[in-house]
Amino acid sequence: MSGSDEQGERRLVPGWEGRYLEDFRVGDVYRHANGRTVSETDNTWFSLLTNNPHPVHSNADYASRTEFGRPLVVSSLTLAIVTGLSVDDVSRNAVANLGWDEVRLPAPVFAGDTLYAESEVLETRPSNSRPGQGVVRIRTRGFNQRGETVITYERTVLVYTRAGRPRAADAEATPPR
């Protein structure tokens, strides 16, 4: 009977649209639903795509002689993955990212680690110059499968209000019955 009411009629149930400015509350913490295991291939490709030739990321022999004993995941890949994990909760309705501040990397990430994240709302305010938009500042913590914090940062995002969001041309159309 999934998707039907008692009379057998279907009802349209909207999917998750993400948060708009008015949905954020200072002090709220979002534990982001997904995790992401970082592979050696991810690290190699990211090193190549970003033109990062440091051997600690791509040369197992070199890395084995460092204090880490094996290749490190590129730190900006860690930032990118953890930011991506937060998109559904924080920036799915963003106009733009305005900045990342206070980025800290307290523990290394290695191929095979699974990254998770949570974000706390630090500040929200309507934009003074952009009607229908506002600024949200969050603190995100990325951690591995052992619960060790591997990255923290603050991110500032320009977000639509519900009324200010872009809509599809047929968004106001009545759904078919």
Residue 144 reports pLDDT greater than 70: yes
d(CA 150, CA 116): 10
Whether 115 and 85 have beta carbons less than 8 Å apart is answered as yes
Q: Lowest-pLDDT range, 17-21, 80-84, 156-160? A: 17-21
| Residues 56-85 pLDDT 10s | 999 999 999 999 999 999 999 999 999 999
Q: Residue 41 carries which DSSP code?
A: H
Give the pLDDT of residue 87.
97
In this structure, what token pair is assigned to residue 101? 């501040």
Question: pTM for this one?
Answer: 0.86
With residue 43 as reference, give the H or E element that holds it: helix 40-49
User: Cα dist. 151→82, 169, 171 in Å?
Assistant: 8, 40, 39
Give the pLDDT of residue 11.
86
Q: What residue type is assigned to position 111 of the chain?
A: A
| Residues 30-59 pLDDT 10s | 999 999 999 999 999 999 999 999 999 999
Give the pLDDT of residue 72.
97
> Nearest Cα to 154, choosing from 133, 168, 141, 139?
139
Residue 31: burial class (beta carbons within 10 Å; 0-12, 13-18, 19+): exposed
Q: Residue 174 carries which DSSP code?
A: P
Residue 177 reports pLDDT greater than 60: no
Residue 91 reports pLDDT greater than 70: yes
Q: What residue type is assigned to position 170 of the chain?
A: D
